[in-house]
Amino acid sequence: MRLERMVERMASAVRNLLRRPQVDAELDEEVRGYVEMLADEKMTRGLTQNEARREAKMELGGVEQVKEQTREVRAGHFVETLWRDLQYAARMLRKNPGFTIVAVLTLALGIGANTAVFSAIDAILLRPLPFPDGDQLMQVSQYNPKVKSPNPFVAPIRLEDWNRMNSTFQALTGYYAEDDSETSGALPEKITIAFVSPRFLQVWGVAPELGRDFSPEEERVGGAPAALISNRYWRRRFGENPKALGKQLRIGKAGIPIVGIMPSSFLFPDHDVDVWLTVPIGAPYTESRDNTWYTVVGRLKKGVTLAQARANLGTVQLQLGKQYPKPDADIAVNIQPLKNTIVGDVGRSFWMLFGAVSLLLLIACTNIAALLLARSSHRRHEISIRFALGASQRAILRQLLTETFLLALVGAALGLVMADAGAKIFQRLAADLPRVGEIHLDATIVLYTLVCSVVVTLLCGFFPALRATREGISASLAQTSAVQVSSRHRLQWLLVGVQVALAVMLLAGAGLLVRSFEELARVSPGFEPTHILTFHISASYAETADMKGLTHRIDGILDSLRALPGISETATSATLPGVPSEYAQELKIVEGPIDPNHKITADSRSVSPDYFATMQIPLLDGEVCREQTGGLDVMVNRSFANTYFPQSSAVGHHLQVLGALAKFYPTAMIRGIVGDAREEGLNHAPEPTVYFCFSAPMPDPYYLVRTHNLPMTMAETVRKRLAQLEPGRSVFGISPLSDHLSESFSENRLRMFLLAFFAATAIALACIGLYGTLSYSVAVRKREIGLRIALGAMRGQIATLFLFKGLGVCALGCAAGLALAIGFSRLLAGMLYGVSPTDVLTLSAVVVMVLALAAVASLVPAVRASRVNPMTALRYE
């Protein structure tokens, strides 16, 4: 029944729209017939024909009104009026190209910036990961709640236990990646290998594009070797030839056949992976419960919540703790949505930027609202006529809003184009951020801009339209553009003030970020980051089986590189200096008492003994450590010495590593004390630090080479020398240390640039708003100005009057903006370095800048006001 009626109504709508002239003619005839019959009726009661006609018409009310009311109930009426309103709006906008261009550009800028940031937020934060049911994917890690050190990696055997015993995951898998060389070609090629546990592709829910997944035999010890390769590697190495399947890769001594090629969308653990290999279960090195090296990802069963999974796996681990008290009783499980761990904490930056662009859009809206207010006063005449002709207030309101909507729509379309271009630039600038590759224009984004334009229409169109129509006929036709300094004027100035306040707020934020960056550049890192070349040499973890050989190999490399002309020092380090890599380690001083309330923790770093000379970290006390065959030497920094040995010298004391790693570290002697260096990043004050002196803390450490000239000029020399020394290994990631340092601030820098850009746009819009409003005010008050000049006012006085009007409003706006900036300063906390969120210098610089710009924007209209010719102004009306 309901459906039937809907269909009927649709049919009526179509009929009404298609046969409009006929339907209208019939209505006309029907109403006319009614009047005539009414008149006939009255004539039978003895009135003359004319009197009867007149009374009948009076009884009817306005013929046009009745017809309009009837049309309004007709199906399709909405579409009809919308179409008419749109046509009319388009005509109005075409007639005022100046206004239209300014408004469309302003809105395009506001909506475009907003959409660009939203598309990044949507791709990075909101959308699920690009895997089937990506929200079911969880990162699972193990940790020891008693030790501060976060070692998130999982032992393979424990992963198998979890898989067998849990009831909330479809499957759990693990991987670890390392760089190695593939040597089947003419030259060794560096490849990134991910070693994966069984069930790897099952967890991702992705199948190879060509070939097949690992077979169960290949995942077990003794099974045949097999490799999956990435699409990128397939393209690079095999030119997308399907015959790559079955070809042998040579990695180390093993030849491994390719069994599958992954689709290009599959980029896990990251987009660098070239090859996936299995870690067979049951291999001897996977049997120890202390060998932890997997990063674990699990896929939840359908409908299972995070809390259920946490509870379930927690119970499983408790059972394992009973079964294997050592070490499982000390281990707890942590589960996080994989998306969170991939995206990390870039969310804050993005939401901050989204806030900034929303303010920008608000400023744009305010600007348009002020423009519309000014324009509506020009259109009073037209609106009055339409009222007089029987249009209802609603109809006129609708018409005015349609005009704004059309503006917003055109602005949004242009904004969409800008957002798309902006997103492309952003992808280039922010290539290091997670998931930026996923940003693209799609239906969600288009829908978002549509919603934006509706919101914009209501925000900036509703109030001016309401004001324009409220006065109705009372602003009668007779009254032309008489001079008035009405309250409408005051509202416009309020809008200017709001724009200034919002712009000041954005500028204050941008200013603080810029100042933080300046402060950061001024920081002395405690080491000398220039003239350092860094690189890697491919190696496999398997080499750790022979630590002596490994150390010998690396020392040999360091020595022969040091002998090259143009190179003064060489060193290795497990981590790069100045690049965040926090690894806190709990320690005990062998000679001292253990105070459980004062645990000794230090940032622990593994470096070769020549690290200090290479990085030019000064020796303060004792001597530089040496590589020991039996024992272990450590160096500590000044903070460590001052914190834990306030009375005596630290040199000569012994340290013992506590926790899970204890057995890997012999008791170490403190050989010397070095200066504090900002190892954890330039924005982190130095922490107590212990340097363990190994040249081979891992098979593939960072190599650091101090060069006489610019670091990259030595790259080829180093590469050639290494090709002689290690023909079977590839050298990769050659870059100056300064590049790494600046990369580690890429998010900060991007955030600063974008906010500064938005703030600059905001202040530009605010100035345009000020200029427009002041110009309008001058235009409206022309006669008054003329009169004043005629009565003897100095032209300078007139100019000052308008200049101060503009500046006064801006000053109020600045005050409000400062209050807002201080009120919201909390939002920036954690993003600032070395400046307080209420830094007086920054805030006053912002105010001075805004007032200076406001003065410039006000000057032109003010001067124009002073040039008014009294004769023309007074004759004008």
Are residues 615 and 571 in contact, defined by beta-carbon separation less than 8 angstroms?
yes
Q: Does 28 bind other proteins (CB under 8 A)?
A: no
Residues 6+ apart with CB under 8 A from 742: 749
Q: Which C-beta is closer to other proteins: that of 65 or that of 241?
A: 65
Least gap, CB of 75 to other proteins (angstroms): 5
463 vs 469: CA distance, rounded Å = 10
Binder of other proteins out of 14, 18, 24, 26 (CB under 8 A): 26
Residue found under tokens 């060998």 = 291
The answer to whether residue 8 forms part of the interface with other proteins (CB under 8 A) is: yes
Q: How is residue 698 written in tokens?
A: 């891992």
In 166-273, which ranges are continuous DSSP H helix? 200-204, 231-238
Taking CB under 8 A as the rule, does residue 336 contact other proteins? no
User: Contact letters (x/-) for other proteins, 45-64, by CB under 8 A?
Assistant: --------------xxx---
State which residue, 31 or 764, has the beta carbon closest to other proteins.
31
The residue from 25, 33, 83, 148 that contacts other proteins (CB under 8 A) is 33
Q: How many residues does the chain have?
A: 877
Non-local CB neighbours of 634 within 8 Å, separated by 6+ positions? 625, 655, 668, 669, 670, 671, 690, 691, 692, 693
Unique residue bearing structure tokens 């239906």: 443
22: contact with other proteins by CB under 8 A: no
Interface segment toward other proteins; rule CB under 8 A; list 34-42, 164-172, 371-379, 812-820: 34-42
Q: Is residue 716 close enough to count as binding other proteins by CB under 8 A?
A: no
CA pair distance 323, 320, nearest whole angstrom: 5
Size of the site for other proteins (CB under 8 A): 28
Residue 601, phi-psi category: left (phi > 0), alpha (psi -120 to 50), beta (remainder): beta
Smallest separation, CB 789 to other proteins (Å): 55
Nearer to other proteins, 395 or 455 (CB): 395
Which of 41, 270, 272, 623 touches other proteins (CB under 8 A)?
Answer: 41
Q: Which residues have CB under 8 Å from 94's CB, separation 6+?
A: 100
Which tokens go with 67? 């017809």
CA–CA distances in Å: residue 807 to residues 374, 490, 848, 852, 864: 20, 15, 12, 9, 16
Minimum distance between the CB of residue 69 and other proteins, rounded to whole angstroms?
A: 5
Per CB under 8 A, contacts with other proteins among 55-114 are 59-61, 65-67, 69-70, 72-75
Cα–Cα distance, 299 to 215 (Å, whole number): 20
Q: Which of 34, 238, 541, 753 binds other proteins (CB under 8 A)?
A: 34
Q: At what angle do helices 487-522 and 840-866 cross, to 10 degrees?
A: 140
With CB under 8 A as the contact rule, which of the stretches 31-39, 192-200, 358-366, 513-521 interacts with other proteins?
31-39
Q: And the tokens for 115?
A: 């959409």
Pick the piece of the chain touching other proteins (CB under 8 A) from 37-45, 145-153, 534-542, 571-579: 37-45
Stretch that binds other proteins, among 35-43, 296-304, 630-638, 741-749 (CB under 8 A): 35-43
Q: Quick check: helix, strand or coil at residue 117?
A: helix
Using the rule CB under 8 A, is 330 a contact of other proteins? no
Binding flag, residue 30, other proteins (CB under 8 A): yes
Please tell me whether residue 663 binds other proteins under the rule CB under 8 A.
no
d(Cα 722, Cα 736) in Å, to the nearest integer?
A: 18
Count Cα neighbours of 39 within 13 Å in the Cβ-side half-sphere: 17
Residue placing its CB nearer to other proteins in the complex, 51 or 716? 51
Q: Where are the alpha helices (DSSP H) in 271-328?
A: 306-323, 325-328
739 binds other proteins (CB under 8 A): no
- Minimal distance in Å, beta carbon 484 to other proteins? 36
Kindly indicate which of the ranges 38-46, 207-215, 351-359, 386-394 contains the residues binding other proteins, using the contact rule CB under 8 A: 38-46
Which span (29-37, 209-217, 401-409, 768-776) binds other proteins, by CB under 8 A? Answer: 29-37
Q: Which tokens is 359 given?
A: 């303010």
Judged by CB under 8 A, which of 12, 151, 315, 628 binds other proteins? Answer: 12
- Contact characters 213-252, other proteins, x per CB under 8 A: ----------------------------------------
110 class by beta-carbon count within 10 Å (0-12 exposed, 13-18 middle, 19+ buried): buried
Separation between Cα atoms, residue 771 and residue 374, nearest integer Å: 13
Residue 14 in the binding site for other proteins (CB under 8 A)? no
In contact, 837 and 751? CB cutoff 8 Å:
no
Single out the segment in contact with other proteins by CB under 8 A; choices: 4-12, 128-136, 218-226, 321-329: 4-12
Question: Which residues have a Cβ under 8 Å from the Cβ of 606 and sit 6 or more positions away?
Answer: 573, 574, 575, 691, 692, 694, 697, 698, 701
Exactly one of 5, 45, 253, 598 binds other proteins (CB under 8 A); that residue is 5
Shortest Å, Cβ 47 to other proteins: 15
Question: In this structure, are residues 393 and 469 in contact, taking their beta carbons and an 8 Å threshold?
Answer: yes
Q: Where along the sequence are the contacts to other proteins (CB under 8 A)? A: 5, 8-9, 12, 26-27, 29-31, 33-34, 36-38, 40-41, 59-61, 65-67, 69-70, 72-75
